[in-house]
Amino acid sequence: MKVDSKIYIAGHRGLVGSAIVNNLKAKGYTNLITRTHSELDLTDSEQVADFFKNEKPEFVFLAAAKVGGIVANNTYRADFIYENLMIQNNVIHHSYLNKVHKLLFLGSTCIYPKNCPQPMKEEYLLTDSLEYTNEPYAIAKIAGIKLCESYNLQYGTNFISVMPTNLYGPNDNFDLKKSHVLPALIRKIHLGKALEDNDWFTIDKDLDKLPIEGVSGSEDMQTKIEVLKKYGVTTNPNGGISVEIWGTGNPKREFLWSEDMAEACVFLMENRDSKDTFSDNLKEIRNTHINIGTGLDISIKDLAQLIKQHLGFKGSFIFNSDKPDGTMIKRTDVSKLHKLGWKHQIDVKDGIDKLYNFYINV
């Protein structure tokens, strides 16, 4: 890519897309194209066709997707498979029709089987059943990988698929109904610490910034106490504060700072092509996607303890084993990415500090 190349970032407002935009700007790229959902509905094939015909982007980062945690994935199953399939089908197909030089498609490591051997290698794709709660989303992302592979093989396109592990960072979602585990834990423990200190100014500021079920800081104290309790931040009979965490706390997860992920994506777009993602001597070309992660994992229980220590929370955790754990272990094998020349910089301890600072100052 040249600094004046026309680059379209689909999903530029999300956690992934915003990190890529910021990375490109920091590197001096000047011709970035973005569209909000109201300006361009990527599930509408006619709108996407018109956009590509008129704008003619040279490079595309496909970071747009419908995303969510376990509850959202399991509740809105039809929405997750339909919308993600439509987004990627439209963008990838019209990238081909309009001769885009290179496209980077972003998926997720939930594409791997529920009981996948650890660490998860790219070659383990489609070797067993998926985790049920996010199966529709995973199937959509697998289809995106195969779409890129198939267009490369049939039409000679240069489409690369990357599968980031669990991401967190600036512009993360802290809505307790929809957020992923790390931002949810940071917010709940932040609120627990404020309740522990009887710091209603901090609680009110938090609820004003992001109301919980419509409850803001201006509500009466009992209403605020009840909504906090509903989401697992509560005063115990002994006077201490507890924070509820879904599941047993035993599952292990790998976390990647979103700005590290963006650096990896831009590195691949600048330095690697689709032909670099597989060996030349293969009879069947498959599993050309690239894991993006740290190769390191941490249990949810230990993650919560790290956040607790960082925030100075003295209360207790209640692990609700009636809630789903999801896959017990999910750790990526990142040897392929390392061979291609990239390695992460931010570990999870430093990342917690950076994300908490973002949250309280946004």
Q: What is the pLDDT of residue 330?
A: 87
Query: Residue 107 and residue 145: Cα distance in Å, rounded?
Result: 8
Whether 71 shows a pLDDT value over 80: the answer reads no
CATH code for position 72? 3.40.50.720
* Helix (H) / strand (E) containing 260: helix 258-271
Query: Residue 247 and residue 69: Cα distance in Å, rounded?
Result: 13
Q: How many domains does the chain have?
A: 1
Measure CA 136 to chain center.
16
Whether 302 shows a pLDDT value over 80: the answer reads yes
Where residue 179 falls among pLDDT bands split at 50, 70, 90? confident
Confirm whether 137 is a catalytic residue. Answer: yes
pTM: 0.90
Where residue 211 falls among pLDDT bands split at 50, 70, 90? very high
Neighbours of 319 (CB within 10 A): 16
Query: Residue 26 and residue 35: Cα distance in Å, rounded?
Result: 20
Share of the chain above pLDDT 90, in %: 86
Q: What is the pLDDT of residue 180?
A: 84
- 183 part of a folded domain: no
- 322 part of a folded domain: no
Q: What is the pLDDT of residue 309?
A: 96
Cβ 326 vs Cβ 70: under 8 Å: yes
- 146 part of a folded domain: yes
Where residue 271 falls among pLDDT bands split at 50, 70, 90? very high
- 106 part of a folded domain: yes
- 291 part of a folded domain: yes
- 216 part of a folded domain: no
- 94 part of a folded domain: yes
Query: Residue 78 and residue 360: Cα distance in Å, rounded?
Result: 35
- 270 part of a folded domain: yes
> What mean pLDDT is reported for the chain?
94
Q: What is the pLDDT of residue 239?
A: 84
The predicted model gives 208-227 an average pLDDT of: 95
Give the model confidence (pLDDT) of 26-38 as tens digits: 999 999 999 999 9
Pick left, alpha or beta for residue 309 (phi over 0 → left; psi -120 to 50 → alpha; otherwise beta): alpha
Cβ 43 vs Cβ 101: under 8 Å: no
Sheet holding 241-246, edge to edge: 233-235, 241-246, 316-320
Sheet holding 59-62, edge to edge: 32-33, 7-10, 59-62, 102-106, 159-164, 290-292
The predicted model gives 340-345 an average pLDDT of: 96
Whether 98 shows a pLDDT value over 80: the answer reads yes
DSSP 3-state helix, strand, coil percentages of the chain (rounded to 5)?
A: 45, 15, 40
Q: What is the pLDDT of residue 362?
A: 82
Give the model confidence (pLDDT) of 100-149 as tens digits: 999 999 999 999 998 899 999 999 999 999 988 889 999 999 999 999 99
Whether 70 shows a pLDDT value over 80: the answer reads no
Q: What is the pLDDT of residue 238?
A: 84
Task: Give me the catalytic one of 8, 112, 137, 356.
Answer: 137
Where residue 171 falls among pLDDT bands split at 50, 70, 90? confident
Domain limits at 17?
7-171+254-296+331-347
Indicate the SS3 state at residue 244.
strand
Whether 242 shows a pLDDT value over 80: the answer reads yes
